Structure 1
Amino acid sequence: MKSDLATVIQAMVTDENEKAFFVQKNGQTYQLPKAENTSELTIGSVVKGFVYENSSKRKMMTLDIPQVNQDHYGWVRVTEVRKDLGVFVDIGLPDKDIVVSLDELPTITSLWPKKGNQLYTTLIMDKKDRMWATLAEDSRIKALSHRATEYELNKDKKATVFRLKLAGTQLITEDGFICFLHPSERFYEPTLGEQLSVRVIGVKPDGTLNVSARPRAHEAISDDAQMILMMLKNSPTHIMPYGDKSSPEAIKEAFGISKGQFKRALGSLLKARQIEQIDGCISMTETALAQAAEEERTAQERAQQELIDSQEVTESE
Protein backbone atom coordinates (compact mmCIF):
# COMPACT_ATOMS: atom_id res chain seq x y z
CA MET A 1 0.00 0.00 0.00
CA LYS A 2 1.31 3.44 -0.92
CA SER A 3 2.24 5.57 2.08
CA ASP A 4 0.21 8.68 2.87
CA LEU A 5 3.30 10.49 4.17
CA ALA A 6 4.00 13.88 2.55
CA THR A 7 0.38 14.19 1.40
CA VAL A 8 -2.78 15.93 2.58
CA ILE A 9 -5.31 13.45 4.01
CA GLN A 10 -8.58 13.33 5.91
CA ALA A 11 -8.39 11.25 9.09
CA MET A 12 -10.54 10.54 12.15
CA VAL A 13 -9.67 11.61 15.68
CA THR A 14 -9.49 8.41 17.76
CA ASP A 15 -7.77 9.48 20.98
CA GLU A 16 -6.19 12.39 22.83
CA ASN A 17 -3.98 13.34 25.76
CA GLU A 18 -3.01 16.67 27.33
CA LYS A 19 -0.73 17.66 24.46
CA ALA A 20 -2.14 16.08 21.32
CA PHE A 21 -4.95 14.42 19.44
CA PHE A 22 -4.33 11.13 17.67
CA VAL A 23 -5.84 10.60 14.23
CA GLN A 24 -6.02 7.47 12.12
CA LYS A 25 -6.26 6.53 8.46
CA ASN A 26 -5.52 3.20 6.75
CA GLY A 27 -4.30 1.73 10.02
CA GLN A 28 -1.74 4.50 10.58
CA THR A 29 -1.89 6.80 13.60
CA TYR A 30 -0.63 10.37 13.46
CA GLN A 31 -0.07 12.83 16.30
CA LEU A 32 -1.75 16.25 15.97
CA PRO A 33 -0.42 18.76 18.56
CA LYS A 34 -3.06 20.68 20.47
CA ALA A 35 -0.85 23.74 20.13
CA GLU A 36 -2.36 24.04 16.66
CA ASN A 37 -5.91 25.35 16.16
CA THR A 38 -7.64 22.20 17.44
CA SER A 39 -10.10 23.67 19.98
CA GLU A 40 -13.18 22.40 18.10
CA LEU A 41 -11.94 18.81 17.72
CA THR A 42 -13.38 15.89 19.68
CA ILE A 43 -13.13 12.11 19.48
CA GLY A 44 -14.81 11.07 16.23
CA SER A 45 -14.10 14.35 14.39
CA VAL A 46 -12.76 14.15 10.84
CA VAL A 47 -9.81 16.45 10.24
CA LYS A 48 -7.81 17.41 7.14
CA GLY A 49 -4.05 17.93 7.39
CA PHE A 50 -0.58 17.21 6.04
CA VAL A 51 1.09 14.06 7.40
CA TYR A 52 4.83 13.46 7.70
CA GLU A 53 7.52 11.91 9.87
CA ASN A 54 9.27 14.48 12.06
CA SER A 55 12.94 14.64 13.04
CA SER A 56 12.24 12.31 15.97
CA LYS A 57 10.72 9.69 13.62
CA ARG A 58 7.18 10.32 14.94
CA LYS A 59 4.32 10.29 12.46
CA MET A 60 2.69 13.70 12.68
CA MET A 61 -0.19 15.71 11.23
CA THR A 62 -0.25 19.48 10.87
CA LEU A 63 -3.30 21.57 9.97
CA ASP A 64 -1.01 24.24 8.55
CA ILE A 65 -0.63 22.60 5.15
CA PRO A 66 2.71 23.45 3.49
CA GLN A 67 2.68 25.08 0.10
CA VAL A 68 5.16 22.41 -1.05
CA ASN A 69 4.03 18.79 -1.13
CA GLN A 70 3.99 15.87 -3.57
CA ASP A 71 1.32 17.61 -5.65
CA HIS A 72 2.58 21.19 -5.48
CA TYR A 73 5.79 23.12 -6.16
CA GLY A 74 6.90 26.21 -4.27
CA TRP A 75 9.80 28.43 -3.25
CA VAL A 76 11.52 27.35 -0.04
CA ARG A 77 14.36 28.86 2.00
CA VAL A 78 17.66 27.07 2.64
CA THR A 79 18.26 26.68 6.40
CA GLU A 80 21.42 24.57 6.57
CA VAL A 81 24.19 23.22 4.32
CA ARG A 82 25.68 19.75 4.88
CA LYS A 83 28.51 18.85 2.49
CA ASP A 84 28.00 15.13 3.24
CA LEU A 85 24.25 15.18 2.61
CA GLY A 86 22.93 18.23 0.76
CA VAL A 87 21.00 21.32 1.85
CA PHE A 88 18.05 21.54 4.25
CA VAL A 89 15.04 23.66 3.29
CA ASP A 90 12.11 24.99 5.29
CA ILE A 91 8.77 23.98 3.77
CA GLY A 92 6.81 25.25 6.78
CA LEU A 93 6.76 22.23 9.09
CA PRO A 94 7.07 23.05 12.81
CA ASP A 95 9.66 20.39 13.65
CA LYS A 96 11.40 19.26 10.48
CA ASP A 97 13.39 20.70 7.58
CA ILE A 98 13.67 18.66 4.38
CA VAL A 99 16.86 17.73 2.49
CA VAL A 100 17.66 18.40 -1.14
CA SER A 101 20.15 15.62 -1.91
CA LEU A 102 23.73 16.48 -2.86
CA ASP A 103 23.12 14.38 -5.99
CA GLU A 104 20.98 17.25 -7.34
CA LEU A 105 23.42 20.01 -6.44
CA PRO A 106 26.32 21.43 -8.51
CA THR A 107 29.51 19.37 -8.75
CA ILE A 108 31.40 22.46 -7.56
CA THR A 109 30.45 22.72 -3.89
CA SER A 110 31.20 26.46 -3.65
CA LEU A 111 28.21 26.96 -6.00
CA TRP A 112 25.84 25.10 -3.69
CA PRO A 113 22.97 27.14 -2.22
CA LYS A 114 23.87 29.12 0.88
CA LYS A 115 21.74 29.64 3.96
CA GLY A 116 18.90 32.01 3.05
CA ASN A 117 18.90 31.18 -0.68
CA GLN A 118 15.59 30.24 -2.30
CA LEU A 119 14.92 27.02 -4.25
CA TYR A 120 11.86 26.02 -6.26
CA THR A 121 11.02 22.46 -5.17
CA THR A 122 8.46 19.75 -4.66
CA LEU A 123 8.48 16.68 -2.38
CA ILE A 124 9.19 13.05 -3.22
CA MET A 125 9.25 9.84 -1.18
CA ASP A 126 11.91 7.18 -1.66
CA LYS A 127 11.49 3.41 -1.32
CA LYS A 128 12.24 3.64 2.41
CA ASP A 129 9.41 6.17 2.97
CA ARG A 130 11.88 9.00 3.47
CA MET A 131 10.78 12.47 2.42
CA TRP A 132 13.08 14.57 0.20
CA ALA A 133 12.78 17.92 -1.48
CA THR A 134 13.67 17.85 -5.17
CA LEU A 135 14.51 20.72 -7.50
CA ALA A 136 11.95 21.67 -10.12
CA GLU A 137 12.70 20.81 -13.72
CA ASP A 138 13.14 23.61 -16.25
CA SER A 139 9.65 22.98 -17.59
CA ARG A 140 8.18 23.78 -14.17
CA ILE A 141 10.13 27.04 -13.96
CA LYS A 142 8.99 27.91 -17.47
CA ALA A 143 5.38 27.35 -16.40
CA LEU A 144 5.85 30.18 -13.84
CA SER A 145 7.07 32.60 -16.48
CA HIS A 146 5.62 34.77 -19.19
CA ARG A 147 7.01 36.39 -22.33
CA ALA A 148 8.85 39.67 -22.09
CA THR A 149 8.50 42.59 -24.49
CA GLU A 150 10.83 45.44 -25.43
CA TYR A 151 9.13 47.41 -22.65
CA GLU A 152 11.42 45.60 -20.15
CA LEU A 153 14.67 46.95 -21.67
CA ASN A 154 17.00 48.70 -19.20
CA LYS A 155 14.75 47.93 -16.23
CA ASP A 156 16.20 46.84 -12.90
CA LYS A 157 15.02 43.45 -11.62
CA LYS A 158 15.40 41.13 -8.66
CA ALA A 159 16.00 37.60 -9.92
CA THR A 160 16.71 34.18 -8.38
CA VAL A 161 19.21 31.70 -9.81
CA PHE A 162 17.58 28.38 -10.73
CA ARG A 163 20.19 26.78 -13.02
CA LEU A 164 23.99 26.96 -13.33
CA LYS A 165 25.64 26.18 -16.66
CA LEU A 166 29.09 26.63 -18.17
CA ALA A 167 27.59 29.04 -20.71
CA GLY A 168 26.09 31.23 -17.96
CA THR A 169 23.48 31.55 -15.23
CA GLN A 170 19.72 31.14 -15.60
CA LEU A 171 17.40 33.14 -13.35
CA ILE A 172 13.74 34.02 -12.96
CA THR A 173 12.68 37.50 -11.91
CA GLU A 174 10.17 38.36 -9.21
CA ASP A 175 7.72 39.37 -11.93
CA GLY A 176 8.11 36.09 -13.82
CA PHE A 177 10.64 36.59 -16.62
CA ILE A 178 13.30 33.97 -17.37
CA CYS A 179 16.75 35.52 -17.72
CA PHE A 180 20.22 34.59 -18.92
CA LEU A 181 23.31 36.09 -17.29
CA HIS A 182 26.48 35.65 -19.36
CA PRO A 183 29.80 35.32 -17.44
CA SER A 184 31.00 38.59 -19.00
CA GLU A 185 28.05 40.42 -17.38
CA ARG A 186 28.80 39.43 -13.77
CA PHE A 187 31.60 39.98 -11.25
CA TYR A 188 31.44 36.42 -9.87
CA GLU A 189 29.56 33.17 -10.45
CA PRO A 190 26.48 33.20 -8.20
CA THR A 191 25.30 30.25 -6.14
CA LEU A 192 22.18 28.20 -6.83
CA GLY A 193 19.15 29.95 -5.32
CA GLU A 194 20.95 33.28 -4.85
CA GLN A 195 18.96 36.44 -5.49
CA LEU A 196 20.68 39.06 -7.65
CA SER A 197 19.98 42.61 -8.69
CA VAL A 198 20.18 42.68 -12.49
CA ARG A 199 19.50 45.03 -15.38
CA VAL A 200 17.75 44.00 -18.59
CA ILE A 201 20.10 44.47 -21.56
CA GLY A 202 18.22 42.46 -24.21
CA VAL A 203 14.92 40.80 -25.05
CA LYS A 204 15.25 37.57 -27.07
CA PRO A 205 12.75 36.36 -29.71
CA ASP A 206 11.47 33.65 -27.34
CA GLY A 207 10.48 36.27 -24.75
CA THR A 208 13.33 35.61 -22.33
CA LEU A 209 15.78 38.27 -21.18
CA ASN A 210 19.50 38.86 -21.30
CA VAL A 211 20.57 40.61 -18.12
CA SER A 212 23.65 42.14 -16.56
CA ALA A 213 24.77 42.27 -12.94
CA ARG A 214 27.28 44.99 -13.76
CA PRO A 215 26.48 48.63 -13.01
CA ARG A 216 25.54 51.12 -15.71
CA ALA A 217 28.40 53.05 -17.21
CA HIS A 218 27.87 56.11 -14.97
CA GLU A 219 27.69 53.86 -11.89
CA ALA A 220 30.68 51.65 -12.72
CA ILE A 221 33.80 51.58 -10.62
CA SER A 222 36.50 53.55 -12.45
CA ASP A 223 39.83 52.18 -13.61
CA ASP A 224 41.48 54.07 -10.73
CA ALA A 225 39.15 52.39 -8.24
CA GLN A 226 39.80 48.98 -9.80
CA MET A 227 43.54 49.58 -9.53
CA ILE A 228 43.31 50.54 -5.84
CA LEU A 229 41.12 47.52 -5.10
CA MET A 230 43.55 45.19 -6.87
CA MET A 231 46.47 46.62 -4.86
CA LEU A 232 44.53 46.00 -1.66
CA LYS A 233 43.75 42.42 -2.73
CA ASN A 234 47.43 41.77 -3.39
CA SER A 235 48.54 43.32 -0.10
CA PRO A 236 49.28 40.61 2.54
CA THR A 237 47.11 42.40 5.13
CA HIS A 238 44.62 43.93 2.62
CA ILE A 239 45.35 47.28 4.30
CA MET A 240 47.24 50.28 2.92
CA PRO A 241 48.35 53.36 4.91
CA TYR A 242 46.60 55.91 2.72
CA GLY A 243 43.37 57.88 2.95
CA ASP A 244 41.72 61.16 2.01
CA LYS A 245 44.10 62.96 4.39
CA SER A 246 47.22 61.63 2.66
CA SER A 247 49.42 64.15 0.86
CA PRO A 248 49.19 64.52 -2.92
CA GLU A 249 52.87 63.56 -3.17
CA ALA A 250 52.38 60.29 -1.23
CA ILE A 251 49.34 59.38 -3.34
CA LYS A 252 51.15 60.14 -6.60
CA GLU A 253 54.12 58.01 -5.56
CA ALA A 254 51.99 55.04 -4.40
CA PHE A 255 49.26 55.03 -7.05
CA GLY A 256 50.45 57.23 -9.89
CA ILE A 257 47.28 59.36 -9.82
CA SER A 258 46.34 62.78 -8.49
CA LYS A 259 44.75 63.29 -5.10
CA GLY A 260 41.49 64.33 -6.81
CA GLN A 261 41.40 61.07 -8.77
CA PHE A 262 42.26 59.16 -5.60
CA LYS A 263 39.41 60.72 -3.62
CA ARG A 264 36.89 60.05 -6.39
CA ALA A 265 38.05 56.42 -6.55
CA LEU A 266 37.75 56.07 -2.76
CA GLY A 267 34.26 57.51 -2.90
CA SER A 268 33.07 54.94 -5.41
CA LEU A 269 34.68 52.06 -3.48
CA LEU A 270 33.12 53.23 -0.22
CA LYS A 271 29.72 53.52 -1.89
CA ALA A 272 30.11 50.00 -3.29
CA ARG A 273 31.07 48.75 0.22
CA GLN A 274 34.33 47.38 -1.11
CA ILE A 275 36.56 49.32 1.30
CA GLU A 276 36.46 51.16 4.60
CA GLN A 277 38.63 53.94 6.08
CA ILE A 278 39.95 53.57 9.63
CA ASP A 279 42.66 55.65 11.32
CA GLY A 280 44.01 57.06 8.07
CA CYS A 281 44.19 53.68 6.34
CA ILE A 282 42.07 51.99 3.71
CA SER A 283 41.18 48.30 3.95
CA MET A 284 38.93 45.82 2.17
CA THR A 285 35.60 45.11 3.84
CA GLU A 286 34.73 41.63 5.04
CA THR A 287 32.18 41.41 2.23
CA ALA A 288 34.79 42.26 -0.41
CA LEU A 289 37.29 39.79 1.06
CA ALA A 290 34.69 37.02 1.16
CA GLN A 291 33.68 37.76 -2.43
CA ALA A 292 37.31 37.67 -3.60
CA ALA A 293 37.94 34.37 -1.78
CA GLU A 294 34.76 32.90 -3.26
CA GLU A 295 35.77 33.95 -6.78
CA GLU A 296 39.20 32.38 -6.36
CA ARG A 297 37.79 29.15 -4.94
CA THR A 298 35.15 28.88 -7.66
CA ALA A 299 37.74 29.49 -10.38
CA GLN A 300 39.99 26.77 -8.95
CA GLU A 301 37.14 24.28 -8.64
CA ARG A 302 35.89 25.11 -12.13
CA ALA A 303 39.39 24.55 -13.55
CA GLN A 304 39.72 21.28 -11.66
CA GLN A 305 36.32 20.07 -12.88
CA GLU A 306 37.14 21.00 -16.48
CA LEU A 307 40.41 19.03 -16.18
CA ILE A 308 38.50 15.99 -14.87
CA ASP A 309 35.95 16.32 -17.68
CA SER A 310 38.69 16.54 -20.32
CA GLN A 311 40.45 13.46 -18.90
CA GLU A 312 37.17 11.51 -18.99
CA VAL A 313 36.65 12.50 -22.64
CA THR A 314 40.22 11.42 -23.51
CA GLU A 315 39.77 8.08 -21.77
CA SER A 316 36.45 7.44 -23.53
CA GLU A 317 38.11 8.06 -26.88
Structure 2
Amino acid sequence: MLKIGEYNELVVESRVEFGLYLDSDNGRILLPNKYVSDEFNIGDTLEVFVYTDSEDRLVATTLQPKGIVGDFVFLKAKEIVSFGTFMDWGLEKDLLIPKSEQQERMLPPRKYLIKICFDEKTARVYGTAKISANCDKNTQDLAAGQQVDLLIHSLTEIGIMAVVDNRYFGMLYRSETYQDLAVGDRCKGYIMRLREDNKIDLTLKEPGYSSVKGSGNTIVDILNTAGGFIPCHDKSSPQEIKEIFSMSKKEFKRAVGGLFKRGILALEKDGIRLKQGEKPENPEKLEEPEKINPWNSKS
Protein backbone atom coordinates (compact mmCIF):
# COMPACT_ATOMS: atom_id res chain seq x y z
CA MET A 1 0.00 0.00 0.00
CA LEU A 2 1.29 3.46 -0.90
CA LYS A 3 2.44 5.47 2.13
CA ILE A 4 2.19 9.22 1.66
CA GLY A 5 4.84 11.14 3.57
CA GLU A 6 7.14 8.12 3.64
CA TYR A 7 9.58 6.23 1.43
CA ASN A 8 8.09 3.77 -1.07
CA GLU A 9 9.58 1.28 -3.51
CA LEU A 10 7.86 1.89 -6.85
CA VAL A 11 8.42 0.47 -10.34
CA VAL A 12 9.13 2.73 -13.31
CA GLU A 13 6.13 2.31 -15.65
CA SER A 14 6.86 4.75 -18.47
CA ARG A 15 8.96 7.70 -19.57
CA VAL A 16 7.44 11.02 -20.64
CA GLU A 17 8.85 14.37 -21.68
CA PHE A 18 8.65 15.79 -18.14
CA GLY A 19 9.78 12.75 -16.13
CA LEU A 20 8.99 9.15 -15.23
CA TYR A 21 5.67 7.69 -14.21
CA LEU A 22 5.90 5.23 -11.32
CA ASP A 23 3.28 2.55 -10.74
CA SER A 24 1.41 2.46 -7.43
CA ASP A 25 -1.87 1.19 -6.03
CA ASN A 26 -3.00 4.85 -5.99
CA GLY A 27 -2.37 5.22 -9.69
CA ARG A 28 0.61 6.62 -11.58
CA ILE A 29 2.91 8.97 -9.68
CA LEU A 30 5.21 11.41 -11.43
CA LEU A 31 8.92 11.55 -10.71
CA PRO A 32 9.88 14.93 -12.31
CA ASN A 33 12.88 15.13 -14.62
CA LYS A 34 14.95 17.05 -12.06
CA TYR A 35 15.09 13.87 -9.97
CA VAL A 36 15.59 11.43 -12.86
CA SER A 37 19.00 9.85 -13.40
CA ASP A 38 20.23 8.57 -16.75
CA GLU A 39 20.61 5.21 -15.03
CA PHE A 40 16.85 4.84 -14.43
CA ASN A 41 15.10 2.48 -16.83
CA ILE A 42 11.56 1.21 -17.36
CA GLY A 43 10.98 -1.73 -15.05
CA ASP A 44 13.45 -0.51 -12.41
CA THR A 45 12.35 -0.38 -8.77
CA LEU A 46 13.14 2.98 -7.19
CA GLU A 47 13.02 4.06 -3.56
CA VAL A 48 11.32 7.46 -3.56
CA PHE A 49 9.66 9.77 -1.06
CA VAL A 50 6.00 10.43 -1.92
CA TYR A 51 4.02 13.52 -0.91
CA THR A 52 1.63 16.02 -2.50
CA ASP A 53 2.69 19.07 -4.50
CA SER A 54 1.24 22.59 -4.26
CA GLU A 55 -1.79 21.43 -6.29
CA ASP A 56 -2.34 18.39 -4.04
CA ARG A 57 -1.16 15.93 -6.70
CA LEU A 58 0.89 12.94 -5.61
CA VAL A 59 4.50 13.40 -6.60
CA ALA A 60 7.71 11.44 -6.01
CA THR A 61 11.19 12.72 -5.26
CA THR A 62 14.63 11.21 -4.69
CA LEU A 63 15.40 14.04 -2.24
CA GLN A 64 15.59 13.02 1.40
CA PRO A 65 13.42 15.11 3.75
CA LYS A 66 14.53 15.74 7.32
CA GLY A 67 11.86 13.35 8.56
CA ILE A 68 8.93 11.18 7.54
CA VAL A 69 5.40 10.83 8.93
CA GLY A 70 5.65 9.93 12.61
CA ASP A 71 9.09 11.46 13.15
CA PHE A 72 9.94 14.20 15.63
CA VAL A 73 12.43 16.63 14.08
CA PHE A 74 13.76 20.14 14.63
CA LEU A 75 12.88 22.33 11.65
CA LYS A 76 13.58 25.96 10.80
CA ALA A 77 10.63 28.29 10.37
CA LYS A 78 10.75 29.76 6.87
CA GLU A 79 7.62 31.79 6.15
CA ILE A 80 4.59 33.01 8.10
CA VAL A 81 1.22 33.04 6.34
CA SER A 82 -2.29 33.82 7.54
CA PHE A 83 -3.11 30.15 8.19
CA GLY A 84 0.17 28.97 9.71
CA THR A 85 3.93 28.75 9.29
CA PHE A 86 5.92 26.96 6.61
CA MET A 87 8.99 25.01 7.75
CA ASP A 88 12.03 23.97 5.75
CA TRP A 89 12.14 20.17 5.76
CA GLY A 90 14.47 19.67 2.80
CA LEU A 91 11.90 19.41 -0.01
CA GLU A 92 10.68 21.82 -2.69
CA LYS A 93 7.32 22.17 -0.99
CA ASP A 94 7.73 23.36 2.60
CA LEU A 95 5.94 21.69 5.51
CA LEU A 96 2.95 23.61 6.87
CA ILE A 97 2.34 23.95 10.59
CA PRO A 98 -1.30 25.16 10.80
CA LYS A 99 -2.06 27.85 13.36
CA SER A 100 -4.18 25.34 15.27
CA GLU A 101 -1.11 23.10 15.69
CA GLN A 102 1.18 25.76 17.14
CA GLN A 103 1.98 26.24 20.82
CA GLU A 104 3.29 29.75 20.22
CA ARG A 105 3.81 32.03 17.26
CA MET A 106 6.54 30.41 15.15
CA LEU A 107 9.00 32.98 13.86
CA PRO A 108 11.66 32.61 11.13
CA PRO A 109 14.47 31.66 11.31
CA ARG A 110 14.05 29.93 14.68
CA LYS A 111 13.98 26.16 14.95
CA TYR A 112 11.14 24.24 16.59
CA LEU A 113 10.52 20.61 17.46
CA ILE A 114 7.84 19.28 15.12
CA LYS A 115 6.03 15.98 14.71
CA ILE A 116 5.35 15.16 11.07
CA CYS A 117 1.75 13.96 10.66
CA PHE A 118 -0.60 12.73 7.95
CA ASP A 119 -4.19 13.87 7.53
CA GLU A 120 -6.11 10.93 6.09
CA LYS A 121 -9.08 13.11 5.11
CA THR A 122 -7.09 15.46 2.88
CA ALA A 123 -4.16 13.07 2.16
CA ARG A 124 -1.82 15.91 3.15
CA VAL A 125 1.33 15.83 5.23
CA TYR A 126 1.52 18.55 7.89
CA GLY A 127 3.36 19.28 11.11
CA THR A 128 2.38 19.93 14.71
CA ALA A 129 4.25 21.66 17.51
CA LYS A 130 1.93 20.18 20.14
CA ILE A 131 4.39 17.49 21.06
CA SER A 132 3.14 15.94 24.31
CA ALA A 133 -0.45 15.81 22.99
CA ASN A 134 0.74 13.86 19.96
CA CYS A 135 2.83 11.29 21.81
CA ASP A 136 1.64 7.78 22.60
CA LYS A 137 0.05 7.62 26.07
CA ASN A 138 -0.01 3.80 26.11
CA THR A 139 3.23 2.84 27.86
CA GLN A 140 2.57 -0.90 28.20
CA ASP A 141 5.55 -1.70 25.92
CA LEU A 142 7.94 0.09 28.30
CA ALA A 143 9.51 -1.18 31.52
CA ALA A 144 11.48 0.40 34.35
CA GLY A 145 15.21 0.16 33.68
CA GLN A 146 14.75 -0.04 29.90
CA GLN A 147 17.27 1.89 27.79
CA VAL A 148 15.66 4.42 25.44
CA ASP A 149 16.61 7.12 22.92
CA LEU A 150 15.88 10.69 24.03
CA LEU A 151 15.36 13.87 22.02
CA ILE A 152 15.43 16.94 24.28
CA HIS A 153 12.30 19.01 23.71
CA SER A 154 12.39 21.77 26.34
CA LEU A 155 13.98 22.86 29.61
CA THR A 156 11.78 23.77 32.56
CA GLU A 157 12.44 24.69 36.18
CA ILE A 158 11.49 21.23 37.39
CA GLY A 159 12.94 19.11 34.65
CA ILE A 160 14.02 18.43 31.11
CA MET A 161 11.26 17.28 28.77
CA ALA A 162 12.13 14.73 26.11
CA VAL A 163 10.62 12.64 23.35
CA VAL A 164 11.25 8.98 24.14
CA ASP A 165 12.00 6.47 21.35
CA ASN A 166 10.36 8.77 18.78
CA ARG A 167 7.02 7.86 20.33
CA TYR A 168 6.49 8.79 24.00
CA PHE A 169 7.01 11.89 26.17
CA GLY A 170 8.88 11.93 29.47
CA MET A 171 10.85 14.05 31.93
CA LEU A 172 14.33 14.06 33.43
CA TYR A 173 14.30 15.69 36.87
CA ARG A 174 16.90 18.46 37.14
CA SER A 175 17.81 17.38 40.66
CA GLU A 176 18.84 13.97 39.30
CA THR A 177 20.50 15.08 36.05
CA TYR A 178 24.25 15.75 36.15
CA GLN A 179 24.87 16.34 32.46
CA ASP A 180 24.48 19.58 30.55
CA LEU A 181 21.73 19.17 27.95
CA ALA A 182 20.34 21.59 25.39
CA VAL A 183 17.16 21.63 23.35
CA GLY A 184 17.68 19.44 20.29
CA ASP A 185 20.26 17.14 21.91
CA ARG A 186 19.92 13.40 21.36
CA CYS A 187 21.17 10.99 23.99
CA LYS A 188 20.59 7.63 25.63
CA GLY A 189 18.53 7.39 28.78
CA TYR A 190 16.62 4.94 30.96
CA ILE A 191 13.08 4.56 32.22
CA MET A 192 13.24 5.36 35.93
CA ARG A 193 9.54 4.79 36.64
CA LEU A 194 6.20 4.51 34.84
CA ARG A 195 3.59 6.46 36.75
CA GLU A 196 -0.07 5.58 37.15
CA ASP A 197 -1.06 8.64 35.11
CA ASN A 198 0.99 7.19 32.19
CA LYS A 199 3.70 9.81 32.59
CA ILE A 200 7.30 8.67 32.25
CA ASP A 201 10.12 9.61 34.62
CA LEU A 202 13.55 9.34 33.00
CA THR A 203 17.15 9.14 34.09
CA LEU A 204 20.49 9.32 32.26
CA LYS A 205 22.02 6.77 34.61
CA GLU A 206 21.26 3.08 34.35
CA PRO A 207 19.11 2.29 37.40
CA GLY A 208 20.66 0.27 40.20
CA TYR A 209 24.29 -0.62 40.79
CA SER A 210 25.07 -0.86 37.08
CA SER A 211 25.37 2.93 36.89
CA VAL A 212 28.17 2.90 39.48
CA LYS A 213 30.24 0.62 37.25
CA GLY A 214 30.11 3.24 34.51
CA SER A 215 30.92 5.94 37.05
CA GLY A 216 34.10 4.06 37.99
CA ASN A 217 35.19 4.27 34.35
CA THR A 218 34.41 7.98 34.31
CA ILE A 219 36.45 8.71 37.45
CA VAL A 220 39.47 6.75 36.16
CA ASP A 221 39.34 8.50 32.77
CA ILE A 222 39.09 11.96 34.33
CA LEU A 223 41.94 11.22 36.73
CA ASN A 224 44.13 10.12 33.82
CA THR A 225 43.30 13.30 31.91
CA ALA A 226 44.10 15.40 35.00
CA GLY A 227 47.51 13.78 35.53
CA GLY A 228 46.39 11.27 38.13
CA PHE A 229 45.18 13.56 40.93
CA ILE A 230 42.02 15.60 41.56
CA PRO A 231 41.36 17.60 44.77
CA CYS A 232 37.96 16.01 45.36
CA HIS A 233 36.98 14.02 48.46
CA ASP A 234 34.09 13.23 50.81
CA LYS A 235 34.03 16.82 52.09
CA SER A 236 33.76 18.32 48.59
CA SER A 237 30.45 20.00 47.77
CA PRO A 238 27.89 18.21 45.59
CA GLN A 239 28.18 21.07 43.08
CA GLU A 240 31.97 20.68 42.79
CA ILE A 241 31.63 16.94 42.22
CA LYS A 242 28.90 17.51 39.63
CA GLU A 243 31.05 20.03 37.73
CA ILE A 244 34.08 17.72 37.60
CA PHE A 245 32.54 14.26 37.28
CA SER A 246 28.92 14.89 36.11
CA MET A 247 27.49 12.68 38.87
CA SER A 248 25.90 13.02 42.29
CA LYS A 249 28.02 13.06 45.44
CA LYS A 250 26.41 9.79 46.54
CA GLU A 251 27.35 8.07 43.31
CA PHE A 252 30.86 9.54 43.43
CA LYS A 253 31.45 8.13 46.92
CA ARG A 254 30.09 4.71 45.97
CA ALA A 255 32.24 4.51 42.83
CA VAL A 256 35.36 5.72 44.66
CA GLY A 257 34.68 3.05 47.28
CA GLY A 258 34.78 0.34 44.64
CA LEU A 259 37.95 1.69 43.05
CA PHE A 260 39.66 2.07 46.46
CA LYS A 261 38.77 -1.49 47.44
CA ARG A 262 40.39 -2.77 44.27
CA GLY A 263 43.55 -0.81 44.95
CA ILE A 264 43.12 1.48 41.96
CA LEU A 265 42.85 4.72 43.96
CA ALA A 266 44.81 6.16 46.86
CA LEU A 267 42.88 8.48 49.18
CA GLU A 268 44.69 11.56 50.35
CA LYS A 269 43.35 14.17 52.76
CA ASP A 270 43.04 16.74 49.98
CA GLY A 271 41.82 14.49 47.16
CA ILE A 272 42.00 11.21 45.23
CA ARG A 273 45.00 9.91 43.34
CA LEU A 274 45.23 7.21 40.70
CA LYS A 275 47.95 4.79 41.73
CA GLN A 276 50.88 4.87 39.31
CA GLY A 277 50.38 2.48 36.43
CA GLU A 278 47.03 1.39 37.85
CA LYS A 279 44.65 2.08 35.01
CA PRO A 280 42.47 -1.06 35.23
CA GLU A 281 41.93 -3.25 32.19
CA ASN A 282 38.23 -3.47 33.01
CA PRO A 283 37.01 -0.93 35.57
CA GLU A 284 33.47 -2.26 35.16
CA LYS A 285 34.32 -5.34 37.22
CA LEU A 286 33.69 -3.47 40.44
CA GLU A 287 32.54 -5.12 43.63
CA GLU A 288 29.61 -3.71 45.59
CA PRO A 289 31.02 -0.44 46.99
CA GLU A 290 28.40 0.10 49.68
CA LYS A 291 30.23 -2.47 51.80
CA ILE A 292 33.10 -0.07 52.32
CA ASN A 293 33.48 3.61 53.18
CA PRO A 294 37.11 4.34 52.27
CA TRP A 295 37.25 7.74 53.97
CA ASN A 296 36.00 6.28 57.27
CA SER A 297 38.68 3.59 57.06
CA LYS A 298 41.37 6.31 57.17
CA SER A 299 40.05 8.07 60.26
TM-score bracket for this pair, using the shorter chain length: 0.3 to 0.5
- Normalization by structure 1: what TM-score? 0.43
Which structure shows the higher helix fraction? Answer: 1
- Normalization by structure 2: what TM-score? 0.45
